[in-house]
Structure 1
Amino acid sequence: MATRDVSVTRVSPLSAFRVGLAMSLVGMAAWLIAVALLYAGMGAAGIWDQVNSLLGDIGGSQAVTFGLVMSFAALLGAIGAILTTILAPLSAVVYNAIVDLFGGLQVRHQEEAS
């Protein structure tokens, strides 16, 4: 097995943007699936019926529905995805500035014999 040390001295902001965008979209999809499963579980436990009953008792006319919960979750997920996508290239720029001062990230690459 051969090992060698590799130094990561620069990260392309465009590459970081692409990876950040892909990861944030996958994260948003996972977030929406998790919210849907949580809504279904809470619905099976009867929690939404109790919440809607409570809202009706205090004079509220809006009921908590699946569409309302998913719309709110999609809005939060979109905000998170946009922030993640914007912060990824900014993180690459900051990393590149720090690398100029202190050096790169050392990674040990080990090749396995097949």
Structure 2
Amino acid sequence: MAERAAGDAASAASAGSGRSGSGRSGSTPASGKTQERIKEAYAHSSPVVSDDTGESKPSAADRFAAAMAVAKNAASSNPSSAPTPAQAGRKVRKARLRLSHIDPWSVMKTAFLLSIALGIVTVVAVAVIWSVLGAAGVWESIDSAVGDVVGGTGASFAIEDYLGTSRVLGFTMLVAVVDVVLVTVVATLGAFLYNLAAALLGGLEVTLAEDA
């Protein structure tokens, strides 16, 4: 009777582990019906069973514990029982970083190149605008309007003598050169000041998140 109960417990545990490995949840080693069969077999088992030779055999309780341990190991080692990413849901990973130091040399190089590019764009833009205004006849209209207002002086007025293309472009280039120097110096000084502030306060904290 005890051997039969132990056999029922082992078979029920193995059947429960097979069903748990093929299930979706993978959280319980056996179903409710299988657990009832194992408990029933354990209730009818005897503590110790001896054969004809007088040697003691493992009791049904020991076999029951061994069967349950095997079932749990099989359920935990089965990869199909683990939840899939679709079931668990994708979690967005986040990292919190701190900007503690800025290299002044790299800041100076970057600011210098950007300021040069800005100066070139400014000179080209002024030249294009001045050419478009001249082609549209704006300067002739201003000259005639000023001549009508002044009138009778016998002297013709030309605004290009005061705001000619060469003078405007020269002034724009001068402003671009000053802008290059100022932007480079201010950016480098700002990097030094930030490093000092970061040494005292720790710097700026930035939180980065992975795309879902």
Same fold (TM over 0.5): yes
Compute the displacement of 1:79 (Å): 0.4
CA separation in 2, counterparts of 1:59 and 1:66?
Answer: 13
Higher mean Cα deviation, 21-30 or 39-48? 39-48
Contact 2:143 2:157 in 1 (8 A): no
Match in the other structure for 2:128:
37
The verdict on how the C-alpha distance between 1:36 and 1:50 changes in structure 2, with shifts beyond 3 A counting, is same
Structure 1 residues 89 and 4: CA distance shift in structure 2, 3 A: same
* Distance (whole Å) between structure 1 residues aligned to residue 199 and residue 161 of structure 2: 56
Q: Which has the larger radius of gyration?
A: 2
One-letter amino acid matched to 2:94: T
**Higher strand share goes to which structure?**
1
Residue in 2 that maps onto 1:108:
207
Q: TM-score, normalised by structure 1?
A: 0.79
Cα RMSD of the aligned pairs, angstroms, is: 2.8
SS in structure 2 at match of 1:112: coil
**CA 1:61–1:38 in 2, change beyond 3 Å: closer, same or farther?**
closer
Higher RCO (C-alpha 8 Å, min separation 6): 1
SS of residue paired to 1:16? helix
Aligned to 1:11: 102
**Structure 2 match to 1:47:** 138
SS at 1:74 equivalent: helix
Q: CA deviation at 1:31?
A: 1.0
Structure 1 SS opposite 2:102: coil
Aligned length: 113
In structure 2, what is the equivalent of residue 86 of structure 1? 185
Unaligned runs of 5+ in 2: 1-91, 147-154
1:15-60 CA distance string (max 9 Å, x none): 1101111110111122112212221232234333456675x75799
2:119 to 20, 28, 34: 28
Seen in structure 2, the aligned counterparts of structure 1 residues 51 and 82 have a Cα distance that, compared at 3 Å, is farther
SS at match of 2:205: strand
Corresponding position: 1:96 with 2:195 = yes
Q: TM-score, normalised by structure 2?
A: 0.46
Contact persistence 1:52–1:64 (CA under 8 A): no
